[in-house]
Amino acid sequence: MLHLFRRSLLSMIGLVLILFLIIVALFAPLIASEHPSYVEVQTEQGTTRVEERWEIHFDRKLQSPSLQHLFGTDDYGRDIFSMIVYGSQTSLRICLMVVIISTLAGIILGGLAGYFGGVIDEVLMRITDVFLAIPYLILALAVAAALGRSIDHIMEAMIITWWPSYARLFRGQVLAIREQQYVEAARSVGASNSRILFRHILPNSIAPLIVEITLDLGAVLLVAAGLSFIGLGASPGTAEWGLMISEGRTLMFHAWWYVTFPGLAILFVVLGFNLLGDGLRDVTDPKLRR
Amino acid sequence: MTETPLLSIRDLKTYFYTYEGVVKALEATSFDIWKGETFGLIGETGCGKSVTALSVMQLIPQPPGRIMSGSILFNGVDLLKEPEKTLQQLRGCAISMIFQEPMTALNPVYNIGRQIAEVILLHKDLTEVPQKNTRNPITHRRIQRARKKRAFEKAIEALDMVKISDPKKVARQYPHELSGGMRQRAMIAMMLACDPDLLIADEPTTALDVTVQAQILDLMKELQHRKGTAIWLITHNLGVIAEMCDRVGVMYAGYIVEIGKTEKIFENPDHPYTRGLLRSIPLIMEERQRLEIIPGSVPNLITPPEGCRFHPRCKYQMDICKTCAPPLVEVEPDHCVACHRFADVKYSVVGEEEKHG
């Protein structure tokens, strides 16, 4: 399986991009030249003091890329390279949280529905349908309006609208796998329901879900950036790629670097997730294998 | 025989509620299986053999299936009245089942040893109190790990028992790495790992090629001798039945139509259906132009024929057959038949002449 993956150049590129993102996010404080929101300021007495970044440094605002500021600075004088590096943490956190929580909900509810069938299936699937009917944008708007704009709130809104598709996908898988004879064999040796569901059915039906998750990580990132861009997500001042594009949009013709670099960051990460997901699908689905 | 049978099925009735109607798959099926014997159940496809086995295991998919009435006494305990928890303990431990398709009956994501070990872990108490060690206190996790290790060792022993060469290597292999015969052996090892009292083998050799079939049957016989397991063999291969079984039951459309000692039934079949079955296999000693067939096919069990379910295909039928289902009567010791005209079938020269003429 691994050698098939290794043979595909595109999925390897995807893997490298994603590994790069993870490394950047993990070691952000070491990679970034400064913290985007806080700074240590030398006082006259020679001590250092931590101040919020955007209250100062108007003297170096909107500088074009140079060796000191690789990707230039923004209109508050913040270093864009550092913001992008710290933004990777935010992005990764949103992607992983949304996808992991949605997946868990999807596996539990979809698994129960598919395995037990009957009334349980009906009830759970109709609940799923209700959630599937909610558009994420409207929900995000409502949540932002009610609770105020914050990354956590859009994460909640996205989880609520994201899990139903996983529940459906997983239910379908379980429906197919539970008819397999080894499931009956497991029952015939006295395995309990939970054992059959989690030890016998789950490992056999997880593959398409993993592919879906990988592809969705990119989609979640795009949606989150989009929500931040229209002003529903991250609060101003946060290092978040969508927000940076939104803020730099008006200055696009004076400071091209302000929108370009966050945009490229989003592009490469989404591309990475998609290539990785495609690669995984090719590997796990024998029908697509040539 | 004065002792109680190991398994005693009485008037078992299993229906399936489908969109087209109620499929009356089993209608008053009764028979016994004694300790240590091999009981064969034969019949055409779709006559309820597997449903009977699944009913005993209580593995009938519900819905659509439903066991309507009857009793299944196993060692004197009525399985139909036991809670699911007790059944889970019985399955795989006291009663286990070998499936037809060894290709699909093993889980592809676990290696063989682990799957056998799972059965052992579920049913056997392998807990050994580890030696006290101040540096390594006895934790739940440590005990679990020790149990798992012991179970895996037992699994290797089980594989050795079914004559798999190099069981240590096979235990770490995955199902797709094994041949059909090997997988069926692994299945048998898994099902016999807990020394069950009754082994249900639902067409265990149908999916295997003939040479492997013989090996598997020999193996089952040998293990039966060693462990005293009763085997309930379901097949439509009459050769296998003649070779293996002490007693045999013939099923037709949800009824046991004839049951008794294998020799008696093979020498002296009293039910027209049994006769038809036995005549429809080629005999190497005789020269025959054509094989006899039983005209027609198994009836649709949603609307089964009234009375004796075999009557539309039976050349001995008379009026009573169309209205009244015949009871199972003992015609000689250890030989019961459900037919209104068994006496005529047995002694009728007319019937024989009709056939040969």
CA distance to partner chain B, nearest, from residue A187 (Å): 8
Predicted local distance difference test score (pLDDT) of residue B289? 64
**Through-space distance between the first and last CA atoms of chain A, rounded to whole angstroms:** 14
Q: In angstroms, rounded to a whole number, what is the distance separating the alpha carbons of residues A224 and A117?
A: 35
Q: B202-238, pLDDT tens digit by residue?
A: 887 777 777 878 888 888 888 888 888 888 888 888 8
How high is the mean pLDDT of chain B? 79
Closest chain A C-alpha to B32 CA, distance in angstroms: 21
pLDDT at A40 over 70: no
Q: Is the separation of the CB atoms in B107 and A200 below 8 Å?
A: yes
Residue reference for tokens 């909610």: A134
Please report the pLDDT score of residue A253 as a whole number: 85
Closest A-chain CA to B100: A181
Q: Rounded mean pLDDT of A144-159?
A: 85
Query: How big is chain B, counted in residues?
Result: 357
| CB-CB contact of A189 with B119 (8 Å) | yes
* Token output for A37: 């929101």
Min Cα separation B321/chain A (Å): 39
Identify the pLDDT of residue A284.
73
Where residue B343 falls among pLDDT bands split at 50, 70, 90? Answer: low
Rounded mean pLDDT of chain A?
84
pLDDT at B353: 42
Q: Give the DSSP letter string of B83-135.
A: -HHHHHHHBTTTEEEE-S-TTTSS-TTS-HHHHHHHHHHHH-----PPPP-SS
For residue B163, pLDDT beyond 60: yes
pLDDT of residue B355: 44
Query: Residue A267 above 90 pLDDT?
Result: yes
**Selected residue with higher pLDDT from A287 and B312:** B312
Residues of B in contact with A210 (CB under 8 A): none
Confidence of residue A107 (pLDDT cuts 50, 70, 90): very high
Question: Each residue of B21-35: pLDDT tens digit?
Answer: 888 888 888 888 888
Contacts of A188 in chain B (CB under 8 A): 57, 59, 91-92, 96-97, 99
Q: Which two tokens stand for residue B225?
A: 């001798």
Cβ distance B105 to A182 less than 8 Å, yes or no, reads: yes
Shortest Cα–Cα distance, A190 to chain B (Å): 4
Question: What is the per-residue pLDDT across B59-81, written as a single tens digit (0 to 9) for each?
Answer: 887 778 888 888 888 887 888 88
Q: How would you label B211-239 residue by residue, b for 16+ Cβ within 10 Å and e otherwise?
A: ebbebbbebbeebbeeeebbbbbbbbbbe
Three-state SS annotation for chain A: CHHHHHHCHHHHHHHHHHHHHHHHHHCHHHHCCCCCCEEEEECCCCCEEEEEHHHCCHHHCCCCCCCCCCCCECCCCCEHHHHHHHHHHHHHHHHHHHHHHHHHHHHHHHHHHHHHCHHHHHHHHHHHHHHHCCCHHHHHHHHHHHHCCCHHHHHHHHHHHHHHHHHHHHHHHHHHHCCCHHHHHHHHCCCCHHHHHHHHHHHHHCHHHHHHHHHHHHHHHHHHHHHHHCCCCCCCCCCCHHHHHHHHHHHCCCCHHHHHHHHHHHHHHHHHHHHHHHHHHHHHCHHHCC
Of residues A209, A230, A233, A223, the one with CA closest to residue A266: A223
Name the band, by pLDDT with cuts 50, 70 and 90, for residue A38.
low
Chain A residue with CA closest to B56: the answer is: A188
pLDDT for residue B129: 57
To the nearest whole Å, the CA of A117 is away from the closest chain B CA by: 9
Cα atoms in the Cβ-side hemisphere of radius 13 Å centred on B105: 28
Q: Which residues of A touch B91 (CB under 8 A)?
A: 187-190
State which H helix or E strand residue B32 sits in: strand B22-33
pLDDT tens by residue, A127-146: 999 999 988 888 888 887 88
* Mean of pLDDT values over A31-42: 69
pLDDT for A112-132, tens place per residue?
999 888 899 999 999 999 999
What mean pLDDT is predicted for residues B181-209? 82
Q: Quote the CA–CA distance of A116 and B327 in Å, as a whole number.
A: 40
The pLDDT value recorded for residue A53 is: 55
> What integer pLDDT is reported at residue B352 of this predicted model?
45
Nearest-neighbour CA in chain B from A167: distance (Å): 22
Q: Compute the average pLDDT of residues B163-176.
A: 85
Percent of chain A with pLDDT over 90: 23
Q: Which of B92, B101, B104 sits opposite A189 (nearest CB)?
A: B92
Q: What is the mean pLDDT of residues A150-160?
A: 87
From first CA to last CA, the distance across chain B in angstroms is: 43
Question: Is B63 at the interface with chain A, CB within 8 A?
Answer: yes
Cβ within 8 Å, pair A203-B109: yes
Q: Do B190 and A189 touch (CB under 8 A)?
A: yes
Picking from A118, A189, A203, the nearest residue to B91 by CB comes out as A189
Q: How many residue pairs from chains A and B have C-beta atoms closer than 8 A?
A: 60
Share of chain B above pLDDT 90, in %: 0
- The A-side interface with B (CB below 8 A) comprises 118, 180-182, 184-192, 199-200, 203-204
- At A105 the pLDDT is 94
The pTM of the whole model exceeds 0.80: no
Highest mean pLDDT among A40-44, A113-117, B187-191 belongs to A113-117
Query: Average pLDDT of A177-194?
Result: 84
- Residue A180: which of B92, B104, B119 has the nearest Cβ? B104
Residue B357 has pLDDT above 50, yes or no: no
Task: Please indicate whether, in this complex, the C-beta atoms of A191 and B118 are within 8 angstroms of each other.
Answer: yes
The partner residue sitting opposite B109, judged by closest CB among A185, A187, A204, is A204
Pairwise CA distance, residues B185 & B176, whole Å: 14
Structure tokens at B14: 């299993």
Section B235-259 average pLDDT: 84
